[in-house]
Structure 1
């Protein structure tokens, strides 16, 4: 017995040592928010106060020192995120995740982001202020890599930490630029749809601008095959595998003094980005005697994309302009190394790349380029022998000045200086929203826009052989859509269609009017806006378009074929106010019915794969209301029932019955149990959270959430056959900057400031976000010092 007890004591002691060892190891991986550290290259001491949410407030004697400290603290919370983001453009995700990422790496290498970056770096003035400060920020990151703890993800993947360079900054911005684009999901698909079905079907799609919808007003004082479908499917599959979020849409509005309670400008902004863990933005407040900014930073990018100070504030939404064109090329009939141009036959450029694969052999691949851009056929693993399709992307055409633009925006002191930096943004297309302490409000669509020949639709694959379907000229920035201090006293953007410019409506992949209509509806009638009412507006979940659509469709119901329970629910839908509360049942029935309406209308013509790809486009979102209101058209007839010609009413009734049956199957026959909280949930997924045993350690959530697609609180989800709406994108932050009390402006992040799972700030804002709460963006130094959770001094 004594011997048995001794063995137990030894085992207990060993177990205790293991537990202590694990605890010490885990503790060593946490970010260090306090104490003193040596940071080589500093000219003077830098003090960083971390507030109760882990946001650094960096005080330095000069900006170079401040940026060096920013790089360090950014890296200790987000190094893994920085690592993934810089790998995308270089085709280096397979090194981390193995063979599943080979197609994704091939695709991004072929875009030429990394090659364009090399050309940009070669032409840079390395002594310019923007580059000097960028290098200081990178020095801070690299000091953390050298002497800071290694994040757990590096141990789990076995990859080595590597120093960051200026190339990584440009490659991160390049990924962002492509993430904004929608043409790759739309143009090849539309071409295949036209070739398969004919013009009559295409004419009933919401491709062109609808003159009856809400536009953003300007004011400045004055052939038949499945190749297209396959390309769209392959590109979509490559993007779906990305372990980092994609940029989706956004809301922003800026209210002039004439419409605010306190007579000062208020800016609101909530960029819509794919949800992931960590979330996209890293907040930081930097203060020196000559510079101050409270900003939101992309991983590995030194200057904030969103920011404010006591003089001005700015935010972003996606412009959604068409900046990618696809071209059919023609290979020489007897020499496969040449392709046809208007000047004659030219040599294809052959690009050779090698992808390193974790636990596998290196993969060598090559692709062809024309003067338009990369030929996608082999990249997307298409069937050989099909006509080559190349992709022309504006991002890789002009000189890249985006980093200088971000420097200019963050260092501007007035509207004139701010506007002067905007022409440096050639891609991605952005709506830049602006407000300042002087009472100015403005919106500018920033991008290198170009004019195409009249009557040419860039929504289809163009002919690359004749020279007749090429850009005619670049527009001057003064011709871009914009509004500066308009007489209606506000500006806004919800990714919707801007008004005409240069005698044309600029082509794009604009989202439907739902959010825009609601924003205008609310802003127009109120002239006493304040921070509280603006923040409440950001959480609005009412869709005037959805209620209008329901009213239209219910008129078609044949009530004689409905049960008493169905009649009760139809009556509830008639009286639905369009809100998406967690306990409401109308949204659940509405979206189930809507999915079946689209499916029953279009899948018979498109086929399952093409239909699946269509659901992932912005065009689909525009088509919902447009198509449902169309009284007649070829889409309504089910081509599989040749002896019957279905009408709109037939499809609407069938879709309602299909939706009802599916809800009974999922939740039982009692409609009161079909509540929105059971189908609409949000989970912030870390790449490692896909492994079931690691999910609870890395993922945040799931949470039932209010909101839906295309309301102001745009918690969006993909439509599919499951009928469960797992939120995939939404507000990546909610910010309200009120110049009547700028030091008490408010914001929130979806999860937390840190991307380190062992940090207390990994998910400390998640429930606040779901509950629609905000926290202060502190700028008052005395308050910051008084409330600081910890102080980190760099010497």
Structure 2
């Protein structure tokens, strides 16, 4: 027995030593790719020396003798910290993910090949102005200089992920940066899925009920649309629902869910509304959370002066930031920049489709997708005069495409003469609001609201090309249209001068939370589906509560977690439940309901992570909307992931008979809205008990509202996910200014997956007192201390200095990198 024990002990020790040796070897290999920020590199492509000073938060301050050299330094810094992220984004735009990840990303590659974003980017390079082409070439040279340095010095392939996937990295090209801009445009629009959803819902609902479940933003009413079924009488009303994209073969799809398309906040105060006598601007763009963040902080010292703020690795510009004279922030417009066209295929010749002038040939070409560990796949790409053909499997298009037809996509971002980067480059050089607005005239996509502040005034301009539609277009861009009818087709784009604009408002305050910005009727309407009707209400109150604002009051507004939605909806849905009924015994469902109602009755609507009320409220609304729509919509109800406050208000106020949703169609009795509210609350409390415990007072919203910063590739891999993913308990919610949009589905429906990955507050009275922060850290390397070091500051609502003072950057620098011409 003793001998057996000794041998077992020896085997255990040997295995443990081997495992430890293996772990140390893996760590050593992974750590090789951590960049040395205190180093000197001789590189090709520079005209003079470049200095990259990384301040205490690892924000690079880049100095050079010329603008091209500074952009070279930005490319070098981006590649040092985010090479894997840049590579994946480029492959996504190119439709080449499957070369790394195999068949699971095949359908994503197919979709991007059909859209041909990368082809449009390549074609657009020649359309940039000379200075922008030079900047793109210099930036690409900087990226490639770091890749060459990694290869020559054996620096761990540049990122630890390259040890798990092919280490081959193609040189960076100017078109790659334009392609990432177009990829961002794709991530900021949901117009096509919205069209398909509206068409699908119209097949199951009357026009009145369709207006309930997909309501217009409050304001000028919209003229009635034709029922989608009337366009195609033979299209069955109950066609089987094609599962959502994530459920039938997509992986790493850059197209957001309808409720998770781009959002953001930005607002500004003129000097006479500022306590310090200078303009103020706050900006916090909302995108899907990830590890690392999509944003990267940087400072560039250009010929016209320093600019600092949020960049996106792969793009050589500051998208959200300031100079010493001008600050700018962006929000998603939500423009209807996509239309689906139903094209009739010639029954006698499937290579043709109907046009206004008869049958014409599809533009057709083949594309080969290489797939890791599988045979290559050849995809036939077709295009009509309206745009690329999208097969029915994408976005549920099969549900609304009749036999003998195909669906084509028109989208402004497919412009092959896109000068958006040249326009954005001009923004960085602008010194005044007027100069900034003029600079952005050629910007195409994504459509953005640009909030501006210089030392003496503030302004607002929507930038991006808006499709010019005919007033006779039957679908008004809200449902798919017949592609062969000339009245439905786009007629170019509207003039930039017609984009909404505000200069020097009389109130001295302007801002946007993705809310409705114009009442212009169709076809100059911009969109019917504005992104916010709720946060704007809270923002208006906070701005009007003070005569003058400070940097601190703007920070308070950015971090505000009071839900106007909760304050307005709870009195409606609980009107007949509060303070009614007899006392119930502890442990009974009735007593649990009464206790929940008592908590909500005394709650001020603050979505604080430490409180139980936000979880009770959120779970109740989720169950309530599901109860209201499930019987009418059947499986289509699964498409509505988030409670719509306007829909619920219409129902409980019985606007245009909307209370009809409260009656369960399949039951013999007639249910009231109070009945459904009570049932939904009981169901919500059961769900909470099963997932978070029955003791309501001990619940924490933050335990359910966990910010999920997931690694795009390794986030689901056992063991590794504990290293690469970042989790944070957070306040806020779907409709608060400190927005933390919930995922809405799955076992953790209240996980925070879409929020302000970047926050900045700029004070033009004292520019160097400005502040900014990221949701994670600057580095994309999981072993770096800068992988998540800013994340805790972000979670707490803290910021770091946003200064253009070079001495302040050097004072606590984590390293200074010198780039010397070879």
TM-score where L is the length of structure 2: 0.89
Q: In 2, distance between residues paired with 1:210 and 1:790? A: 53
**In the alignment, which residue of structure 1 is the partner of 2:507?**
488
- CA separation of 1:100/1:20 partners in 2, compared to 1, >3 Å: closer, same or farther? closer
Map 1:139-154; keep pairs closer than 5 Å.
139-148=141-150, 149=155, 150=157, 151-154=159-162
**In the alignment, which residue of structure 2 is the partner of 1:688?**
714
**In the alignment, which residue of structure 1 is the partner of 2:744?**
719
**In the alignment, which residue of structure 1 is the partner of 2:406?**
388
- Higher alpha-carbon deviation: 653-662 or 400-409: 653-662
Is 2:750 aligned against 1:742?
no
**In the alignment, which residue of structure 2 is the partner of 1:649?**
674
- CA separation of 1:366/1:721 partners in 2, compared to 1, >3 Å: closer, same or farther? same
Is 2:638 aligned against 1:612?
yes
- CA separation of 1:237/1:138 partners in 2, compared to 1, >3 Å: closer, same or farther? farther
Equivalent position SS for 2:723: helix
Q: In 1, distance between residues paired with 2:262 and 2:692? A: 32
Q: In 1, distance between residues paired with 2:618 and 2:768? A: 42
- CA separation of 1:136/1:230 partners in 2, compared to 1, >3 Å: closer, same or farther? farther
2:593 paired residue among 563, 566, 572: 566
- CA separation of 1:693/1:537 partners in 2, compared to 1, >3 Å: closer, same or farther? same
Q: Deviation of residue 109 (structure 1)?
A: 1.2
Q: Deviation of residue 398 (structure 1)?
A: 6.3
Q: Deviation of residue 84 (structure 1)?
A: 0.7
Is 2:733 aligned against 1:708?
yes
2:618 paired residue among 575, 586, 591: 591
Q: In 2, distance between residues paired with 1:272 and 1:16? A: 42
Q: In 2, distance between residues paired with 1:604 and 1:442? A: 44
- Higher alpha-carbon deviation: 492-501 or 373-382: 373-382
- CA separation of 1:766/1:721 partners in 2, compared to 1, >3 Å: closer, same or farther? closer
- CA separation of 1:659/1:783 partners in 2, compared to 1, >3 Å: closer, same or farther? same
Q: Is 1:747–1:775's contact at 8 Å kept on the other side of the alignment?
A: yes
Q: In 1, distance between residues paired with 2:173 and 2:572? A: 57
Q: Deviation of residue 733 (structure 1)?
A: 0.7
- Higher alpha-carbon deviation: 286-295 or 178-187: 286-295
- CA separation of 1:508/1:45 partners in 2, compared to 1, >3 Å: closer, same or farther? same
Equivalent position SS for 2:57: coil
**In the alignment, which residue of structure 2 is the partner of 1:189?**
197
- Higher alpha-carbon deviation: 536-545 or 283-292: 283-292
- CA separation of 1:527/1:138 partners in 2, compared to 1, >3 Å: closer, same or farther? same
Please list every run of 5 or more consecutive structure 1 residues that lacks an aligned counterpart in the other structure.
214-222
- CA separation of 1:660/1:67 partners in 2, compared to 1, >3 Å: closer, same or farther? same
Q: Is 1:372–1:392's contact at 8 Å kept on the other side of the alignment?
A: yes
- Higher alpha-carbon deviation: 58-67 or 466-475: 466-475
- Measured against aligned partners, the alpha-carbon deviations of 1:337-362 in whole angstroms (never above 9, x if no partner) come to 22112211111222321111111111
- Higher alpha-carbon deviation: 71-80 or 661-670: 661-670
- CA separation of 1:190/1:164 partners in 2, compared to 1, >3 Å: closer, same or farther? same
Q: Deviation of residue 750 (structure 1)?
A: 0.4
- CA separation of 1:626/1:428 partners in 2, compared to 1, >3 Å: closer, same or farther? farther
**In the alignment, which residue of structure 1 is the partner of 2:388?**
374
Q: Deviation of residue 114 (structure 1)?
A: 1.7
Q: In 1, distance between residues paired with 2:443 and 2:247? A: 26
Q: Deviation of residue 448 (structure 1)?
A: 2.9
Equivalent position SS for 2:517: coil
**In the alignment, which residue of structure 2 is the partner of 1:102?**
106
Q: In 2, distance between residues paired with 1:443 and 1:525? A: 25
Q: In 1, distance between residues paired with 2:102 and 2:242? A: 23
**In the alignment, which residue of structure 1 is the partner of 2:329?**
315
Q: In 2, distance between residues paired with 1:525 and 1:200? A: 38
Q: Deviation of residue 533 (structure 1)?
A: 1.7
**In the alignment, which residue of structure 1 is the partner of 2:683?**
658
1:30 paired residue among 23, 28, 34: 34
Equivalent position SS for 2:782: coil
Q: Deviation of residue 76 (structure 1)?
A: 0.7
- Measured against aligned partners, the alpha-carbon deviations of 1:284-342 in whole angstroms (never above 9, x if no partner) come to 11125543211321121111211211010111110001011112221223222221122
**In the alignment, which residue of structure 2 is the partner of 1:467?**
486
**In the alignment, which residue of structure 2 is the partner of 1:580?**
607
Q: Is 1:70–1:137's contact at 8 Å kept on the other side of the alignment?
A: yes
Q: In 2, distance between residues paired with 1:567 and 1:352? A: 64
Q: In 1, distance between residues paired with 2:682 and 2:326? A: 54
Is 2:252 aligned against 1:252?
no
Q: Is 1:279–1:752's contact at 8 Å kept on the other side of the alignment?
A: yes
- Following superposition, which runs of at least 4 residues in structure 1 exceed 6 angstroms of deviation? 3-20, 226-229, 235-240, 243-246
**In the alignment, which residue of structure 2 is the partner of 1:547?**
567
Is 2:117 aligned against 1:90?
no
Is 2:46 aligned against 1:42?
yes
Q: In 2, distance between residues paired with 1:6 and 1:375? A: 65
**In the alignment, which residue of structure 1 is the partner of 2:445?**
427
**In the alignment, which residue of structure 1 is the partner of 2:215?**
207
- Higher alpha-carbon deviation: 411-420 or 385-394: 385-394
Is 2:464 aligned against 1:436?
no
Is 2:121 aligned against 1:117?
yes
1:330 paired residue among 316, 320, 344: 344
Q: In 2, distance between residues paired with 1:398 and 1:116? A: 5
Q: In 2, distance between residues paired with 1:168 and 1:498? A: 33
- CA separation of 1:327/1:572 partners in 2, compared to 1, >3 Å: closer, same or farther? same
- Measured against aligned partners, the alpha-carbon deviations of 1:70-105 in whole angstroms (never above 9, x if no partner) come to 111110100001001111121111112111111111
- CA separation of 1:511/1:10 partners in 2, compared to 1, >3 Å: closer, same or farther? closer
Is 2:654 aligned against 1:630?
yes
Q: Is 1:107–1:235's contact at 8 Å kept on the other side of the alignment?
A: no
- Higher alpha-carbon deviation: 666-675 or 705-714: 666-675
Equivalent position SS for 1:29: coil
Q: In 2, distance between residues paired with 1:69 and 1:707? A: 37
**In the alignment, which residue of structure 1 is the partner of 2:225?**
none
Aligned residue-pair number: 778
Q: Is 1:47–1:793's contact at 8 Å kept on the other side of the alignment?
A: yes
Q: Is 2:95–2:108's contact at 8 Å kept on the other side of the alignment?
A: yes
- Measured against aligned partners, the alpha-carbon deviations of 1:679-708 in whole angstroms (never above 9, x if no partner) come to 11112111202112101221112x211111
Q: Deviation of residue 403 (structure 1)?
A: 1.1
Q: In 2, distance between residues paired with 1:36 and 1:733? A: 31
Q: Is 2:304–2:429's contact at 8 Å kept on the other side of the alignment?
A: no
Equivalent position SS for 1:272: strand
**In the alignment, which residue of structure 1 is the partner of 2:468?**
450
Q: Deviation of residue 552 (structure 1)?
A: 1.2
TM-score where L is the length of structure 1: 0.92
1:775 paired residue among 793, 800, 805: 800
**In the alignment, which residue of structure 2 is the partner of 1:217?**
none
Q: In 2, distance between residues paired with 1:342 and 1:311? A: 52
- Measured against aligned partners, the alpha-carbon deviations of 1:463-498 in whole angstroms (never above 9, x if no partner) come to 222222223563211111121111011110111111
Q: In 1, distance between residues paired with 2:291 and 2:438? A: 35
- Higher alpha-carbon deviation: 147-156 or 201-210: 201-210
Is 2:82 aligned against 1:78?
yes
- Measured against aligned partners, the alpha-carbon deviations of 1:157-184 in whole angstroms (never above 9, x if no partner) come to 1241210111211111111111111112
Q: In 1, distance between residues paired with 2:104 and 2:238? A: 23
Q: In 1, distance between residues paired with 2:66 and 2:367? A: 43
Please list every run of 5 or more consecutive structure 2 residues that lacks an aligned counterpart in the other structure.
222-231, 585-589
Q: Deviation of residue 247 (structure 1)?
A: 5.4
Map 1:145-164; keep pairs closer than 5 Å.
145-148=147-150, 149=155, 150=157, 151-164=159-172
Equivalent position SS for 1:143: helix
- CA separation of 1:668/1:21 partners in 2, compared to 1, >3 Å: closer, same or farther? closer
Equivalent position SS for 2:734: coil
Two-structure CA RMSD over aligned residues (Å): 3.0
Equivalent position SS for 2:788: coil
